[in-house]
């Protein structure tokens, strides 16, 4: 698979702000404005809104048009999603390839945006799994320093960088319905660091995303990389605020195994699972147990289909913070001797 080399941004560049899934700016405008302010002041970029960015009832056709128009505009140097959602599977598959292939540029988004990230991958366009306006730029009180560091690399710097593990993470949320919470700091939890399993080194091209979205791709017959392509892929996954059970996670990974994918991939990277949400407010001990049970389920099923590949869990990408906008469709090197990971930004 040949991937295009994307131009890096510079201060003053225009970036499209889109809502390819849920139009969160229509519900929490104060959060949106904070994120836009951070994008402008911290990174020196010029946000450009599109018709459906703040349109709560935007149709699939309107959101598709925004994506096409943003990529087709030469004055737009990158595209950033406001947030995720739950329905991209219904329309991303119908996008025409030409506007994106002819005008490739960096895209930032995660969760439901897995579907668009996969679409770009299919067309040889790398992207960044992470860096949404609401969840990273509009972090309450201030942006996480580690998030800023890796966003800066993704936006402006080309080259190989070592991934690091954060000393803490935040998961317990603050209510966006109360504007006062934007001035508060979210509770920090101690981070246990990476969980490393396997002794082999590995190199490959990254592909993956939110496990629930990958499940939908499998269920609905969405095009994903061909089986022979997985022999050059390092798979990455993480789970959302739906907080799926370990049994569910096991079954989706088992589906990947039964399709021959786990037997082909060169390695697996797993993001720290989100373990707290407003609808299911776990205690600290419950959060820890949930994370452990998911890790055990993933390791168990991967080893059913592949005994040798390196599997590294509890990385800083996905639905908790700090968040690395993980490059998708880029080269990654896993060194199991030094326990280091290097990835191409």
Q: Where are the domains of the chain?
A: 14-159, 162-344
Domain 162-344 in the same topology as domain 14-159:
no
Residue 76 structure tokens: 């737009």
For every residue of the chain, which 3-state class applies, written as one string? Answer: CCCCCCCCCCCCCEEEEECCCCCHHHCCHHHHHHHHHHHHHHHCCEEEECCCCCCCCCCHHHHHHHHHHHHHCCCEEEEEECCCCCCHHHCHHHCCCHHHHCCCCCEEECHHHHHHHHHHHHCCCCEEECCCHHHHHCCCCCCCHHHHHHHHHHHHCCCEEECCCCCEEECCCCCCCCHHHHHCCCCEEECCCCEEECCCCEEEEEEEEEHHHHHHHHHHCCCCCCCCHHHHEEEEEECCCCCCCHHHHHHHHHHHHHCCHHHHCCEEEEECCCCCECCECCCHHHHHHHHHHHHHHHHHHHHHHCCCCCEEEEECCCCCECCCCEEECCEEEEECCCCEEEEEC
pLDDT (0 to 100) of residue 281: 98
Domain covering 162-344, topology: Glucose Oxidase; domain 1 (3.50.30)
Look at the alpha carbons of 218, 221, 225, 230 in this order and tell me if their dihedral is positive or negative. positive
Could you say which residues of the chain have pLDDT below 70? none
pLDDT (0 to 100) of residue 1: 83
Domain covering 14-159, topology: Rossmann fold (3.40.50)
CB atoms within 10 A of CB 72: 13
pLDDT (0 to 100) of residue 35: 98
pLDDT (0 to 100) of residue 179: 95
Share above pLDDT 70 across residues of the chain, in percent, rounded to a whole number: 100
pTM summary value: 0.98
Any idea of the CA torsion for 149, 145, 108, 277, to the nearest 10 degrees?
150
């Amino acid at each position: 698979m040949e991937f295009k080399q994307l131009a890096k941004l510079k201060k003053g560049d225009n970036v499209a702000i889109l809502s390819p899934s849920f139009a969160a700016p229509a519900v929490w405008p104060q959060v949106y404005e904070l994120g836009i302010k951070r994008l402008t002041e911290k990174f020196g970029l010029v946000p450009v809104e599109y018709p459906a960015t703040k349109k709560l009832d935007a149709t699939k056709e309107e959101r598709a048009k925004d994506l096409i128009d943003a990529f087709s505009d030469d004055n737009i140097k990158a595209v950033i999603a406001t947030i995720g959602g739950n329905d991209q599977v219904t329309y991303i598959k119908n996008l025409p390839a030409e506007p994106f292939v002819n005008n490739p540029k960096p895209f930032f988004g995660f969760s439901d945006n897995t579907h668009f990230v996969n679409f770009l991958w299919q067309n040889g366009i790398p992207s960044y799994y992470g860096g949404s306006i609401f969840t990273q730029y509009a972090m309450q009180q201030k942006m996480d320093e580690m998030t800023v560091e890796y966003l800066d690399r993704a936006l402006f710097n080309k080259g190989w960088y070592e991934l690091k593990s954060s000393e803490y993470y935040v998961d317990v949320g603050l209510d966006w319905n109360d504007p006062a919470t934007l001035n508060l700091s979210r509770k920090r939890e101690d981070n246990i660091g990476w969980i490393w399993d396997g002794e082999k080194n590995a190199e490959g091209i990254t592909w993956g995303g939110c496990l629930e979205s990958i499940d939908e791709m499998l269920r609905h017959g969405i095009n994903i990389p061909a089986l022979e392509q997985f022999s050059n892929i390092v798979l990455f996954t993480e789970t959302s605020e739906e907080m799926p059970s370990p049994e569910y996670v096991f079954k989706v990974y088992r589906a990947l195994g039964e399709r021959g994918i786990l037997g082909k991939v060169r390695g697996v990277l797993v993001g720290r699972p989100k373990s707290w949400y407003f609808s299911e407010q776990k205690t600290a001990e419950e959060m820890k147990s949930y994370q452990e049970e998911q890790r055990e389920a993933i390791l168990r099923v991967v080893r059913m289909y592949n005994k040798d590949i390196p599997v590294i869990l509890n990385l800083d990408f996905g639905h908790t913070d700090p968040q690395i906008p993980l490059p998708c469709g880029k080269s990654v090197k896993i060194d199991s001797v030094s326990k280091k990971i290097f990835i191409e930004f």
